[in-house]
A and B are shown apart, each in its own frame.
Chain A
């Protein structure tokens, strides 16, 4: 999810069901949709220090399911 522009006062509300400054899914923002993200495709999605790449995300999902 993307939010903004944020002030310090907007932070606590992040954990509520809806937020007045919510912009929707980051991938769906016009600024992102106009792009062709190849080099930066994984930026912010995977663990940058994980050599297994996409697997880290998968592991994260499994961890979330197990929790």
Chain B
């Protein structure tokens, strides 16, 4: 399991550190009460720890001045995919998604129109251009059925097939799943099959996919199975044409 995506999940990480399989632990107990070797453990993201020096040097008030709403300070954006200017860009919370994608990233490398941006990582939601007004902040993105996640942005031009992207999310989950909980282990495999049914023109599979996503979201032990519905449902919601039967799309 070492190297699997789920080994970044805090309880899988603790199991990996203890030399056992990197599978998720049921919570409670939270690691803060019973973590590494059963002792109270705090697991932080490296980015949180890396932000400490500037706060120590200039004070909490200085850091808090930056940001938007409850999202304080800065966020290092990882801009990637089909973009003209990719790379790491640290900026205060509050820019709109459009300012980031069109302004900082400079649109697509291919020069074609931006169709979608996946924000947060491989389990983040896809945003269409119509949602480019959303400001970059935790609450703001949650309110738009998305997530800031690790603040990675992957840009796609208008040649992207969002059904394929939804399938990729389910496939990713199936490969990376630790297998401990059923919604993630079985759900992701069935998810790939269900997306394939939709691709073959079976529209009856669309409500099934939505239902499966709700089960995974509510029933998974950790964010792997719990967040896979974000890319799947956002693709389905914002790009329904890509999920329409092929014969209709051809007409």
Which residues of B pack against A, CB within 8 Å?
A: 47, 50-51, 53-54, 57, 63, 66, 73-74, 76, 85, 87-92, 104
B87 and A36 within 8 A (CB): no
With A31-B87, A34-B104, A53-B53: A40-B76 Cβ-Cβ less than 8 Å: yes
Which residues of A pack against B, CB within 8 Å?
A: 31, 34-42, 53-54
A36 and B66 within 8 A (CB): yes
Kindly list chain B residues whose C-beta atoms are within 8 Å of the C-beta of A40. Answer: 50, 76, 88, 90
Kindly list chain A residues whose C-beta atoms are within 8 Å of the C-beta of B89. Answer: 31, 34-35
Name B85's closest neighbour in chain A (CB-CB).
A31
In the complex, how many angstroms separate the beta carbon of A54 from the nearest chain B beta carbon?
A: 8
A36 and B51 within 8 A (CB): no
Complex Cα spacing A38 to B53, Å: 9
Kindly list chain B residues whose C-beta atoms are within 8 Å of the C-beta of A34. Answer: 89, 91, 104
Q: Provide the main secondary structure of the chain A interface.
A: loop
Name B77's closest neighbour in chain A (CB-CB).
A35
Kindly list chain A residues whose C-beta atoms are within 8 Å of the C-beta of B90. Answer: 35-40
Name A53's closest neighbour in chain B (CB-CB).
B53
Q: Provide the main secondary structure of the chain B interface.
A: mixed
In the complex, how many angstroms separate the beta carbon of B66 from the nearest chain A beta carbon?
A: 6
Complex Cα spacing A34 to B77, Å: 13
Name B66's closest neighbour in chain A (CB-CB).
A36
Complex Cα spacing A29 to B213, Å: 45
Complex Cα spacing A35 to B50, Å: 17
Kindly list chain B residues whose C-beta atoms are within 8 Å of the C-beta of A37. Answer: 74, 90
In the complex, how many angstroms separate the beta carbon of B227 from the nearest chain A beta carbon?
A: 24
With A34-B104, A53-B53: A39-B47 Cβ-Cβ less than 8 Å: yes
Q: Could you list 11 examples of A-B contacts with CB < 8 Å?
A: A31-B85, A31-B89, A35-B89, A35-B90, A36-B74, A36-B91, A39-B47, A39-B50, A40-B90, A41-B54, A53-B53
B54 and A38 within 8 A (CB): yes
In the complex, how many angstroms separate the beta carbon of B130 from the nearest chain A beta carbon?
A: 26
Complex Cα spacing A39 to B78, Å: 14
Complex Cα spacing A36 to B93, Å: 10
Tell me which of A34, A36, A37, A38 has the highest count of chain B C-beta atoms within 10 A of its own C-beta. Answer: A38
Identify A38's interface contact among B51, B85, B87, CB under 8 A: B51
| 8 tightest Cβ-Cβ pairs between the two chains A and B | A39-B51, A38-B54, A38-B74, A37-B90, A40-B90, A35-B90, A36-B92, A36-B74
Complex Cα spacing A31 to B91, Å: 11
In the complex, how many angstroms separate the beta carbon of A42 from the nearest chain B beta carbon?
A: 6
Name A41's closest neighbour in chain B (CB-CB).
B54
